[in-house]
Amino acid sequence: MALIKDQQLSVNHAATPEIRFSDWLNHEQAAGDTVLTNGEDDLPSLLASANKLSMIAIEFETFADGRGFSMARMLRRDGYLGEIRAVGDVAMDRIDFMHRVGFNAFELRDDQHAAQALTKLGEVSVHFQPSADGKGPAYMA
Amino acid sequence: MYAYNQFDQTLVDQRVEQYRDQTHRYLAGEIPEDEFRILRLMNGLYIQRLAPMLRVAIPYGLMKSEQLRTLAQISRTYDKGYGHFTTRQNIQFNWPTLESVPDILADLAKVQMHAIQTSGACIRNTTTDPFAGVSADEIEDTRPWCELIRQWSTLHPEFAYLPRKFKIAVSGSSNDRAASQVHDIGLHLYHNETGEIGFEVLVGGGLGRTPVIGKTVRKFLEPQELLSYLEAVLRVYNLNGRRDNKYKARIKILVNAIGIDAFTEMVEAEWQLLKDTELRLPESEIERVKGFFTGPDYLSAVHAGSDLQGVFVEHPQFATWYRQNTRDHKQAGYRIVIVALKNQLQAPGDVSHQQMDGIAALADEFSFAELRSTHNQNLVLADVAQRDLLALWLKLQDLDMARANVGTLTDMINCPGLDFCSLANAETLVLSRQINETFDDMDYQYELGEIQLKISGCINACGHHHVGHIGILGVEKGGKQVYQFTLGGSASNDASLGKTLGRSIEQDQVVVVIGQILDVYVQLRQIDETFLQLVRRLGVVPFKERVYGTHQRSAA
């Protein structure tokens, strides 16, 4: 599976964690500092634990499940600086919005062409909302 | 009205190219069907029973005449020469090809229009009072706030994959003409006790399978924090709304499940983290946007006004039209003119390309080159000088758009029904035809007074039947199309859901039953009592007795 990270194709990167956040919470220290989560996990706990994690992989079980967008946005609002990786049903038509709310890594679905996907970041270059990428509406500039 | 700057134009142009690429990749087999479905819906493209349907956004119902001309041109070039105005102030084209949609969007972008978020599980077009900025009963102009919401909601990256669609309506007058209490969020602009302007925020209203009147989540919101508050509501909804069942996914279900108090607590907690951040609207931005809605260069009352009494005597039909289809304007010497899209021959809300061009020319000549679409599926020329009214009326007659039936029985809301819609269970257009044929005596309609008839072809309630004074819902039973009546609904300040009359009515009996309902009203009404008031006073029982006492052919 191709991974885009920090706006380029990544060849050498940490594997996507397999340990679920809920399990990580239960045997916290032993389990490393990367977790896999999704909209079913307890978000306040995740936000409270984020400073102990170097990577949070947010899983999109289906592309229509938009909860991960708010999760990433709230993690960045709290100042989380680690990697937020989108995994699961991740396609090029959503990674620009994902990037804007705070994801910095995208594990693309198998059918996705990675080089083409890269061109989708910033496809619409102007924004009407403040978001995690620091760009916002014209009146904020 | 608002005019795009380079920023807005860039966004819309780039969005067209983005969608062009998505269409191209879909046609090349590179995007799976179910995924492209979501992508095209976010650009207003449905696949209906017979053809695709493209819904074009008319932000809060406001249009320039040149935009309407472009819509006419699009209907000629890519469609069958007509369009259909919806209850959410948008316009739909029923016959474009999927392949042509990127070109249509490019044509729209040239006149500052688009189809962004006119469908899909995202924030839809914000709607408002079609008389905003001109109505005599207005508290505050809603249009600048609608524009600010339009901008904030357009391509909002966090809220493109909500549990379900999300609709916002804004009202700023003492009479709610935006159906704000049956929207996911209803905003009421008003002055509080200390005279400050702000919003009352309602959430969780809606129709469909589970009709609900919205509940107040915040009594007073300072307007600078409008966007931060909306963001808080949307975030709570995005994270907590149900995603397992699309019929239980609207925010109203969440609000009802956890209760308005718990919901309010969640929103307020999130809002504490959002207010006074970059989402707070700077005064300069509010003023900039307000600057687009300062109103046209009105003539003085002496020049615009006209004593119409003599004209009324000479042209009694004009007098009737004036009474039914025009409204008080805040500017002395001016009237608001409602152009009814409810003649006998066209489906409610339908407008031909000739009519679009014609009305655009009338907007140029008589109403500062602007017009509006309404929740009731009509058009509005908002700023007509009294001295021009007769000339306008004569020209509207040439377009077959002068029927003086606004607010009457035949000024009905009607979804397209089974003739077009793939969701519908029953035809609706046949009913509007029958109703127009049966109730063709306008004097009888005037005598009945205001009656809002609203017809939906399925439980999704696009025709807002729950809030019709008379509501009709088409359903399918045992292979037959039958119709359920409700009485006493309203989408105005006194919003209420209609009560069921009784068992379903067969299609050919619908006009008979409407006639019986009207008979009961005429027989039992007190002086000056409207239909709605009477239903509220007496309930459905006398109607039930009349309809089912004599009605032998009702369906099971």
> pLDDT, tens digit, for every residue of B410-444?
999 999 899 888 889 999 999 999 999 999 999 99
- Give the distance from residue B89's alpha carbon to the nearest chain A alpha carbon, in angstroms: 22
Which of B255, B289, B323 finishes a domain?
A: B289
- According to DSSP, residue A132 is labeled T
For residue B122, tell me if it sits in a domain. Answer: no
> Which neighbouring-strand residues pair with A106?
A4, A86
B143: part of which helix (H) or strand (E)? helix B143-153
Q: Tell me whether residue B222 is exposed, middle or buried, using C-beta atoms within 10 angstroms of its C-beta: 0 to 12, 13 to 18, 19 or more.
A: middle
Counted domains in chain A: 1
Distance, CA of B469 to chain centre: 17
DSSP class per residue in B532-555: HHHHHHH-SHHHHHHHHHH-----
ipTM above 0.95 for this complex: yes
- Which stretch of A3-12, A19-28, B124-133 has the lowest confidence by average pLDDT? A19-28
Report the domain count for chain B. 4
Query: What number of CA atoms fall less than 13 Å from residue B277's CA on the CB side?
Result: 19
Cβ separation B18–A130 shorter than 8 A: no
Residues of A in contact with B288 (CB under 8 A): 139
Residue B306 lies in a domain: yes
pLDDT of residue A141: 61
Q: Are B154 and B279 in a shared domain?
A: yes
Q: Counting beta carbons within 10 angstroms of the beta carbon of residue A12, is it exposed (0 to 12), middle (13 to 18) or buried (19 or more)?
A: exposed
Residue A19 has pLDDT above 50, yes or no: yes
User: Are residues B387 and B307 part of one domain?
Assistant: yes
Alpha carbon of A39: minimum distance to chain B alpha carbons (Å): 7
For residue range B54-111, list pLDDT tens digits in order.
999 999 999 999 999 999 999 999 999 999 999 999 999 999 999 999 999 999 999 9
Specify whether B271 is located in the same domain as B230: yes
Q: Do A97 and B39 touch (CB under 8 A)?
A: no
Q: Is residue B207 part of a domain?
A: yes
Q: How far is CA B397 from CA B84, B183, B402, B448, B465, in A?
A: 20, 35, 5, 24, 30
C-alpha closest to that of B376 among B86, B128, B170: B86
Beta bridge partners of B47: B52
Which of B267, B289, B311 is the last residue before a domain boundary? B289
The answer to whether A109 contacts chain B (CB < 8 Å) is no
Q: What is the CATH number of the domain that holds B55?
A: 3.90.480.20
Residue B347 lies in a domain: yes
By the CB < 8 Å criterion, does A103 face chain B? Answer: no
**Residues pairing with B128 in the sheet:** B170
Q: Tell me, yes or no, whether B457 lies in a domain.
A: yes
Angle between helices B101-110 and B65-78 (to 10 degrees): 160
The conformational region for residue B105 under phi > 0 = left, psi -120 to 50 = alpha, else beta, is alpha
In the three-class reduction of DSSP (H, G, I as helix; E, B as strand; rest coil), residue B73 is classed as: helix
CATH of the domain at B148: 3.30.413.10
CA B446 to chain centre: 24
Contact between residue B233 and residue B203 where contact means Cβ atoms under 8 Å apart: yes
Residue B488 inside a domain? The answer is yes
What is the Cα B338 distance to its own chain's centre?
A: 14
Last residue of a domain, one of B289, B323, B339: B289
Which residues in B lie closer than 8 A to residue A139 (C-beta atoms)? 282, 284-285, 288
Cα within 13 Å of Cα(B211), Cβ side? 25
Q: Residue ranges of chain B with pLDDT lower than 70?
A: 550-556
Q: Which domain holds residue B423?
A: 413-550
- Count of A–B CB contacts within 8 Å? 97
Q: For residue B38, which residues of chain A lie inside 8 Å, CB to CB?
A: 63-64
Q: Is the pLDDT of residue A136 over 80?
A: no
Structural domain that includes position A15? 3-140
- Distance from C-alpha of B437 to C-alpha of B419, rounded to nearest angstrom: 19
Domain match, B419 and B545 both:
yes
Q: What is the pLDDT of residue B474?
A: 97
B439 near B410, Cβ under 8 Å? Answer: yes
Q: What is the mean pLDDT of chain B?
A: 95
Is B161 in Cβ contact with A126 (below 8 Å)?
no
B chain contacts of residue A123, beta-carbon cutoff 8 Å: 14, 17-18
pTM of the model: 0.96
Give the Cα separation of A119 and A102 in Å (integer).
18
Residues B463 and B533 in one domain: yes
Which residues of B sit within 8 Å Cβ distance of A?
5, 7, 10-11, 14-15, 17-18, 22, 30-32, 35, 38-39, 121, 151-163, 235, 238-239, 243, 273, 277-279, 282, 284-285, 288
Tell whether A140 is within 8 A of chain B (Cβ).
yes
* Residue type at B215 in one-letter notation: K
Q: Which of B2, B161, B271, B280 to mutate to test the interface with A (most CBs of A within 10 A)?
A: B161
In a domain, B474, yes or no: yes
Residue B239 belongs to a domain: yes
